[in-house]
C-alpha cells in the first residue's frame, strides 16, 4: 500500500498529500554510468549495502537546513542533440531524512521531487534492492520489490539512452549559498562512508536484466555540481573503488573538507 506523500517542490513530482515545500541543490556527482545499449532499455536496478550507523550521518536542523545522504538510480531519455536540447530524466532511490530512510523520486520534466513521509522498513547496515523502471505508462520506483513511488511517463515507449547509479550527499536548496559542508547536527557534519552498490544493471523493455555483453559504454563521474565548490573539493571528500560494469564502493565524508 502506498504511504502518504510529502511533496517537496524543486526538482520534483505530482503526488498525493503535500505537507511542506522545499528545494534541493546539486551537491556532488559520484556515479557509474552505462549507455550504448544493444536492446531497448527502460530502467535500472542495483543492490546497496548501507553503511553502519557509525558510518553515516544526515544533518537535519529544520526544513531549510538539512543535508541528505542518498543512494539512487537515474534513467535518461532521448540523448540531447541540436534538435532535442532538453533531456528528461528521473532519479529514484533512498535517502536518510531526520534519522530515518525514505524513498524519493525526482522528475526533470516536471521539476518536482517527492519524499515519502512514511519511513521505510530498513535500517543502517541493511542490504536494499532498488529498481527504477518505466512500465505501463509510468515510471515506478521499487524498494525491496515494493512500488514506493510512481509517476506517469512515456519512457517505456521511447526507452532510455543512459542509466546511472549514484551515491551522494545533497543539501536543501535553501542552504545552497552557504557552506553546507560545515553544517552540523546529530553529532557532526554529513557523511556516508563505506556504501557499496552491487549489480548495477540496465533493465530491458521486457523486464529482464541486460548483461554487460550488450552495452558498450561505461563511465565513472566525480565532479562538483555546486558553484560553491571545485572538482578538487569533490575529490577531497570522496573516496571510491569501482568496477565499471558491476561494482561501486564509496565514502563521502564532509569531515575531510
Concatenated DSSP letters for 107-134? ETTTTEEEEESSPPS--TT-EEEEEEEE
Contact of 252 with 191, CB cutoff 8 Å:
yes
Block residue for cell numbers 509517476:
151
Evaluate whether 143 touches 120 at the Cβ level (below 8 Å): yes
| Cβ-Cβ contacts under 8 Å for 59 (sequence gap 6 or more) | 65, 66, 67, 183, 184, 185, 186, 189, 190
**pLDDT given at position 248:** 94
For residue 12, tell me if it sits in a domain: no
Cα–Cα distance measured from residue 55 to residue 125, given in angstroms and rounded to the nearest whole number: 9
Specify whether the CB–CB gap between 213 and 163 falls below 8 A.
no
In a domain, 13, yes or no: no
pLDDT for 103 equals: 94
Query: Pairing relation of β-strands 191-204 and 56-57?
Result: antiparallel
Q: Domain limits at 186?
A: 25-256
79 belongs to a structural domain: yes
Quick one: which H or E segment has residue 201?
Answer: strand 191-204
CA distance 22 to 10: 6
DSSP state letter for 174: G
Q: Residue 159: left (phi > 0), alpha (psi -120 to 50), or beta?
A: left
- The answer to whether residue 107 is domain-embedded is yes
pLDDT at 172: 79
> Is residue 155 classed as helix, strand or coil in its secondary structure?
helix
pTM: 0.86
Task: Tell me the HSE value of 135 on the side-chain side, using a 13 A CA sphere.
Answer: 17
Q: How far apart are CA 42 and CA 153, in angstroms?
A: 11
- Domain membership of residue 5 (yes or no) is no
In sequence order, what are the residues at sequence separation of 6 or more whose Cβ sits closer than 8 angstroms to the Cβ of residue 232? Answer: none
Structure confidence at residue 20 (pLDDT)? 31
| pLDDT value for 42 | 95
Asked, for residue 16, whether it belongs to a domain, the answer is no
Question: Would you say residue 203 lies in a domain?
Answer: yes
Number of independent structural domains in the chain: 1
Yes or no: say if 76 and 89 are a contact pair by the CB < 8 Å rule: yes
pLDDT at 9: 25
**And the C-alpha cell for 41?**
532499455
| Cβ-contact 251, 239 below 8 angstroms | yes
Q: Which residues of the chain have pLDDT under 50?
A: 1-23, 111
Q: What is the CATH number of the domain that holds 189?
A: 2.60.120.1270
**C-alpha grid cell for residue 212?**
554487460
Amino acid at each position: 500500500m502506498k504511504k502518504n506523500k510529502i511533496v517537496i517542490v524543486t526538482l520534483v513530482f505530482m503526488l498525493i498529500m503535500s505537507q511542506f515545500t522545499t528545494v534541493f541543490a546539486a551537491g556532488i556527482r559520484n556515479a557509474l554510468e552505462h549507455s550504448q545499449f544493444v536492446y531497448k532499455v527502460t530502467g535500472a536496478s542495483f543492490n546497496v549495502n548501507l553503511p553502519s550507523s557509525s558510518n553515516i550521518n544526515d544533518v537535519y536542523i529544520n526544513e531549510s537546513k538539512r543535508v541528505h545522504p542518498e543512494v539512487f538510480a537515474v534513467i535518461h531519455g532521448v540523448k540531447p542533440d541540436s534538435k532535442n536540447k532538453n533531456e528528461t530524466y528521473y532519479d529514484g532511490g533512498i535517502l536518510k531524512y531526520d534519522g530515518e530512510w525514505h524513498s524519493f523520486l525526482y522528475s526533470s520534466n516536471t521539476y518536482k521531487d517527492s519524499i515519502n513521509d512514511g519511513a521505510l522498513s530498513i535500517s543502517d547496515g541493511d542490504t536494499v534492492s532498488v529498481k527504477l523502471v518505466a512500465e505501463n505508462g509510468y515510471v515506478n520506483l521499487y524498494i525491496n520489490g515494493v512500488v514506493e513511488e510512481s509517476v506517469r511517463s512515456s519512457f517505456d515507449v521511447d526507452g532510455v539512452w543512459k542509466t546511472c547509479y549514484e551515491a551522494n550527499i545533497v543539501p536543501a536548496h535553501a542552504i545552497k549559498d552557504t557552506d553546507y559542508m560545515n553544517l552540523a547536527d546529530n553529532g557532526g557534519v554529513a557523511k556516508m562512508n563505506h556504501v557499496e552498490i552491487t549489480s548495477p544493471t540496465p533493465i530491458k523493455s521486457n523486464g529482464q536484466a541486460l548483461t554487460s555483453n550488450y552495452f558498450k559504454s561505461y563511465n565513472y563521474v566525480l565532479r562538483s555540481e555546486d558553484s560553491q565548490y571545485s572538482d578538487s573539493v569533490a575529490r577531497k571528500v570522496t573516496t571510491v573503488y569501482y568496477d565499471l560494469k558491476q561494482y561501486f564502493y564509496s565514502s563521502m565524508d564532509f569531515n575531510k573538507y
